[in-house]
């Protein structure tokens, strides 16, 4: 009722404008709906459904009706040491990939921002890993790491650094080996984003600082970094999420082996859901992953943002 009177009043106040605006609103809905419906049905809906599944005993191909079981899945999960081991590996992987990825990409972006020859070629080449299917990236690095026919061991032999090893099936080497691939695969996108940020930073300030005799490092700290900071923050946060949720690369490289040493949480949950058919339990894993990652990110972003205000 209050709504109705409010509308009536506004109609009285501006009879011409509102009629036009309302038509425009209807037009806007017409434009938005074709995308909104699929988003609601195939993204928002499944997300909520997925969260609900975490509180049920849903299984694949079962005839008995699915039942609500409260937080039983989460209680089980709490004691599932295999899952937490996988979670630990996932965090190691996500940090191990995101940090070097950022540092290397920053270095490359700074280089590409310089007036160097070959810059165009370098930019074009640098983007190759981005365009490739993840499965192909995995296959490619399997060929590189191959103990006999791989170029890595051959290069080590040539350099007299021993006979090399079976990188992807060694208990100690598997995780570092897949981390290198993760860094390689995600570098271009990070580089391009950082480069865009760099090119937005004020050039005059840079030149002024150079005139004042500031060295390269000082110029970076006082001019470049403050301008780049928001972009850097956003890109590391996104990379961290993507890396934590990564699946295809490791699936192709090691499929979680050897002995679960590279079994990322996504692989674990995938197996739980589609090999063992434990839909409810896998959904609970998904919920835990989202919750923990959100918390880590919140701490990361809040810490960095308030740090930025101090500076």
63-92: contacts with other proteins (CB under 8 A): none
128 near other proteins, judged by CB under 8 A: yes
8: left (phi over 0), alpha (psi -120 to 50) or beta: alpha
State which of positions 35-54 bind other proteins (CB under 8 A).
Answer: 35-36, 38-39, 42-47, 49-51, 53
- Of 83, 87, 167, 251, the one binding other proteins (CB under 8 A) is 251
| Angle subtended by helix axes 134-145 and 174-200, to nearest 10 | 130
| Shortest separation between residue 309's beta carbon and other proteins, angstroms | 21
Q: Shortest gap between Cβ of 1 and other proteins (angstroms)?
A: 22
The least distance separating other proteins from the CB of residue 198, rounded to whole angstroms, comes to 11
Site string for other proteins, 132-171 (x = CB under 8 A): xxxxxx-xxxxxx-x-xxxx--x--x----------xx--
Does residue 92 contact residue 177 with C-beta atoms inside 8 Å? no
Residue 208 interacting with other proteins (CB under 8 A): no
Size of the site for other proteins (CB under 8 A): 103
The neighbouring-strand residues paired with 68 are 56
Q: Report, in Å, the least distance between residue 93 CB and other proteins.
A: 14
CA distance 294 to 300: 10
Which is nearest to 100 in space by CA: 186, 166, 28, 162? 186
- β-sheet bridge partners, residue 56: 68
Taking contact as CB under 8 A, which single stretch among the options 72-80, 170-178, 234-242, 299-307 is the one that binds other proteins? 234-242
Secondary structure (3-state) at 177? helix
Task: Report phi then psi at 257, rounded to 5.
Answer: -80, -175
Q: Does 94 bind other proteins (CB under 8 A)?
A: no
């Amino acid at each position: 009722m209050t709504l109705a009177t409010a509308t009536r009043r506004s109609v009285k106040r501006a009879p011409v404008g509102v009629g036009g605006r309302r038509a425009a609103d209807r037009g806007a809905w017409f434009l938005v709906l074709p995308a909104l419906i699929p988003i609601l049905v195939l993204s928002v809906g499944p997300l909520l459904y997925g969260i609900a599944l975490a509180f049920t005993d849903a299984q694949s191909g079962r005839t008995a009706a699915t039942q609500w079981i409260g937080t039983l899945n989460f209680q089980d999960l709490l004691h599932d040491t295999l899952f937490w081991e996988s979670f630990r590996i996932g965090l190691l992987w996500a940090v191990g990939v995101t940090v070097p990825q950022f540092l290397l990409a920053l270095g490359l972006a700074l280089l590409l921002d310089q007036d160097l020859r070959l810059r165009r070629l370098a930019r074009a080449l640098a983007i190759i890993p981005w365009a490739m299917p993840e499965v192909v990236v995995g296959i490619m690095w399997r060929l590189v790491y191959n103990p006999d026919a791989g170029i890595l061991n051959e290069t080590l032999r040539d350099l007299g650094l021993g006979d090399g090893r079976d990188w992807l099936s060694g208990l100690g080497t598997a995780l570092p080996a897949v981390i290198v691939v993760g860094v390689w695969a995600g570098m271009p996108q990070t580089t391009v984003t950082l480069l865009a940020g760099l090119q937005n930073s004020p050039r005059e300030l840079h030149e002024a600082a150079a005139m004042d005799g500031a060295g390269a490092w000082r110029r970076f700290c006082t001019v470049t970094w403050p301008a780049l900071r928001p972009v850097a923050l956003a890109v590391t946060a996104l990379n961290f999420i993507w890396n934590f949720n990564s699946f295809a690369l490791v699936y192709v490289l090691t499929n979680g082996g050897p002995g679960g040493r590279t079994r990322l949480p996504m692989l674990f949950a995938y197996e739980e859901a589609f090999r063992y058919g434990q839909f409810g339990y896998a959904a609970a894993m998904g919920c835990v992953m989202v919750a923990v990652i959100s918390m880590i990110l919140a701490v990361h972003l809040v810490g960095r943002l308030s740090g930025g205000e101090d500076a």
